[in-house]
Chains A and B, each alone.
Chain A
Amino acid sequence: DQQVKQNSPSLSVQEGRISILNCDYTNSMFDYFLWYKKYPAEGPTFLISISSIKDKNEDGRFTVFLNKSAKHLSLHIVPSQPGDSAVYFCAASARATDKLIFGTGTRLQVFP
């Protein structure tokens, strides 16, 4: 049972345009959400997070939106750059547990 789902395994975007990566979750107890970025042959690195008390968090070119009623979050990258090409993992955790649940990942390719 996949509690965190990333339904798009891949996304291709032109440089300069917006990239939108989506993530859905099923567990209403999740109260903290994170996005990680992973390059080949490296471990995932933290990108941006959002608490369930907020609906938006912004950090430079990266913005995460949270829609609790729809159990959906999205990562917006504006403008997209070739260096953003990587696999992006959505993750969620619940205050009552000590686990971080990851989605299956979306491979983003930004082309010139």
Chain B
Amino acid sequence: EAQVTQNPRYLITVTGKKLTVTCSQNMNHEYMSWYRQDPGLGLRQIYYSMNVEVTDKGDVPEGYKVSRKEKRNFPLILESPSPNQTSLYFCASSLRGRGEHSTDTQYFGPGTRLTVL
């Protein structure tokens, strides 16, 4: 089954304790992205990756890191989480990035609800 998986689905942590949220897709997609969803703000892009070893900042990258060492995986790293990073996080992938191939749609994972105390 074609899908985007995220782990964990729920996480409660404390300020300053490094954490990683994993994301994996089995569709051989080139483009992967992380979003956060907050009430009244919709979905905002954190980071995205056009392909292996190619990553770029989205609209709200502060406090986050990503890596793309393999095509299928795109982990989101919070080196020192803070309470304002409490949010619902979604990973997404598409066959190609927007660019010249703007007909591609993104497939989303089920979400990770993160609470930072």
Contacts and interface: CB of A to CB of B under 8 A. Distances in A.
B90 interface: yes
A46 interface: yes
Contact of A89 (B43, B56, B97): B43
B21 to A, nearest CB: 13
Instruction: Indicate the size class of the contact surface on chain B.
Output: 20 to 34
A6 B90 CA distance: 20
Interface residues of A, number: 28
A102 interface: yes
Contacts, number: 70
Nearest to A94: B98
A43 B110 contact: yes
A98 B56 contact: yes
A95 B44 contact: no
Contacts of A85: none
Contact of A43 (B4, B42, B45, B56): B4
B44 to A, nearest CB: 7
Contacts of A101: 45, 59
Interface in B89-111: 90, 92, 97-100, 102-103, 105-111
B103 A100 contact: no
B43 A102 contact: yes
Interface in A1-18: 4, 6
Interface in B60-112: 90, 92, 97-100, 102-103, 105-111
B2 interface: no
Contacts of B42: 4, 6, 89, 102-105
Given A102-B43, A102-B44, A95 B110 contact: no
26 contacts: A4-B42, A31-B102, A32-B102, A42-B110, A43-B4, A43-B108, A43-B109, A44-B43, A46-B107, A89-B43, A93-B102, A95-B98, A95-B100, A97-B98, A97-B99, A98-B31, A98-B48, A98-B97, A98-B98, A99-B45, A99-B58, A100-B45, A102-B35, A102-B42, A103-B42, A105-B43
Interface of B: 4, 31, 33, 35, 40-45, 48, 50, 56, 58-59, 90, 92, 97-100, 102-103, 105-111
